[in-house]
Amino acid sequence: MRLVIVGSQWGDEGKGKVTDFLGQQADVVVRSQGGNNAGHTILIGKEKFALQTIPSGIFNPHIMNVLANGMVINPKEALKELNGLISRNVKDFKLYISNRAHVIMPYHILLDGAYEELKGSHKIGTTKKGIGPCYADKVNRIGIRMGDLVDEEGFLEVLKQTLPLKNRELKMLGQEELDLMTIYNEYKEYGKILKPYVCDTSLLLEEAIKEDKNILFEGAQGSMLCLDHGSYPYVTSSSPTAASVPLNTGIAPKYIDHCVGICKAYTTRVGEGPFPTELHNELGDLIRERGHEYGTVTHRARRVGYLDLVVVNYAKRISGIDSLALMLFDVLTGIDELKICVSYNLDGKEIKTIPATLKEYEKCVPNYITLKAWHEDITKARTFEELPEEAKVYINTIEKYTGINVDIISVGPERNETIIRRQIFKK
Ligand code: GDP
Ligand code: IMO
Ligand code: MG
């Protein structure tokens, strides 16, 4: 079975936890897009891991972990992450990196920062990891790929062609130009260490499909950060939708069997951009503290708001979400003023989709339904029936307004703090 995990909001929905949980049934775990802008938290017992580039299947020695062609990879940071795992005794793993994945180079990071600064009050609020500039070079056909990096001579040739162009751009933006041989000497060493992992991962996935292996595609970011369908320009530079998985991994679309939308019980967003249900009050602060809503990557305080089902329904439509995993449900315990947004008002009209322009989206006013609070601790619940009535109503309301079954309910960060209503990943 091939299962896709998609963030249904603005990222940080708990994709890492679900990937780790469902990964127990997986033979292969694949990251298909983004790079170390992602921060996926996994709690194994009392040990906390924050993965950025490495797939969340890395802790299981039997799982093949794939960084596919659609990713952008910072080799220096990926190695740091890998060494960090090794130093914490995660030594027995299988890792495969696509020779077609693009390499985040030092100039991408400098350019990310420089463009943000130039944009001033219109900045995106990026993670400053060089993601946008690296994808821009891919589209502009001046990118460097993992296959180039691990070929010592080839790498020098590509760098000789690319660096003068990038140095011009850096100079134009008032940045210092970079020295060819300094970068070459540093990065060829990363290439040497990573070479044993680099291969044609599309062929690998073809084999896994032929052998009917269980493949889990671990999405990064969220649907509203999609370059094509998100709250543009306040988005990332790749597409975190289910539709992007075939392109970003080199498998045919017909092989995707099921899509799980990961949905926080409320909404968060990091960085700038519209957020209709945002709470600028004490309740927002309370949810932020309870949910530890601070970025895994940049440690920025996440913006917090009520659950927005217009957003979730939009993600459903774009990706074809078959099941929902409702995350951080425990955080809502004891919150008296519980609301869920079911539509927006735009210029006096009710709408149930996301408008394309920023100007329109910024004008949208949420229409809420109000629900009753529950006060009982739900972290020990392992079945739906054990939940308080009010909590059941909250879940039933989500199902009613989205038409999607909430098949997974997460009541705490740990693996076992999970309610499974339907086994969706079958061997
Ligand atoms: P991702 O980027 O989608 O993988 O999500 P992040 O890891 O950035 O953020 C999710 C945060 O919520 C992490 O700190 C998780 O440990 C935590 N988390 C996940 N599920 C639950 C849950 O059900 N309850 C609580 N309290 N925390 C959770
Ligand atoms: P995970 O996988 C939340 C946001 C950034 C910024 C915008 C563009 O952990 O859910 P970028 O550096 O990608 O050019 O930044 O996208 N962003 C995320 N927000 N979770 C993420 O990943 C994110 N990855 C990027 O904050 O607003
Ligand atoms: Mg995250």
Closest residue CA from atom 16 of ligand 1: 413
pLDDT for residue 69 is more than 80: yes
CB of 41 within 6 A of ligand 2: the answer is no
- Summarize pLDDT for 86-100 with one digit per residue, the tens: 999 999 999 999 999
Is residue 298 predicted with pLDDT exceeding 90?
Answer: no
With the most atoms of ligand 2 within 8 angstroms of its CB, the residue from 12, 104, 127 to mutate is: 127
Fold: same for 2-89+201-420 and 102-197: no
CA separation for the pair 247, 206 (Å, rounded): 13
Closest residue by CA, ligand 2 atom 6 = 126
115 has pLDDT over 80: yes
Task: Give 337's pLDDT tier (boundaries 50, 70, 90).
Answer: confident
The DSSP symbol for 145 reads B
Q: Is the pLDDT of residue 378 over 80?
A: yes
pLDDT digits (tens, 9 = 90+) for 387-406: 999 999 999 999 999 999 99
What pLDDT is attached to residue 230?
98
CA-based nearest residue to 29, from 176, 164, 208, 153: 208
pLDDT given at position 296: 84
Structure-block tokens of residue 383: 């079945």
Looking at residues 347-362, what average pLDDT do you find?
Answer: 97
427, pLDDT greater than 80: no
Choose the residue to mutate in 41, 43, 382 for probing ligand 1, maximizing ligand atoms within 8 Å of C-beta: 41
- Report the 3 state secondary structure along 63-96: CEEEECCCEEECHHHHHHHHHHHHHCCCCCCEEE
Identified catalytic residue from 20, 27, 40, 322: 40
Model confidence pLDDT, tens digit, residues 191-233: 999 999 999 999 999 999 999 999 999 999 999 999 999 999 9
Q: Does the beta carbon of 57 lie inside 6 Å of ligand 2?
A: no
- Is residue 344 pLDDT above 80, yes or no? yes
Q: Which of 328, 330, 380 to mutate to test the pocket of ligand 1 (most atoms within 8 A of CB)?
A: 328
Question: What are the backbone angles phi and psi of residue 292, rounded to the nearest 5°?
Answer: 45, 55
CA distance 241 to 224: 9
Whether the CB of 328 sits within 6 Å of ligand 1: yes
Position in ligand 1 atom list of the atom nearest CA 42: 16
pLDDT at 365: 98
Mean pLDDT value across residues 336-357: 97
Does domain 2-89+201-420 match CATH 3.40.50.1980? no
Q: Tell me which residue has tokens 């995660």.
A: 90
The average confidence (pLDDT) of the chain is 97
> Is pLDDT above 90 for 297?
no
14 Cβ inside 6 Å of ligand 2: no
**In this predicted structure, what is the pLDDT of residue 426?**
80
Is the shortest distance between the CB of 37 and ligand 2 below 6 Å? yes
Task: Parse the chain into domains and list their residue ranges.
Answer: 2-89+201-420, 102-197
Active site residue 40: yes
CATH 1.10.300.10 fits domain 102-197:
yes
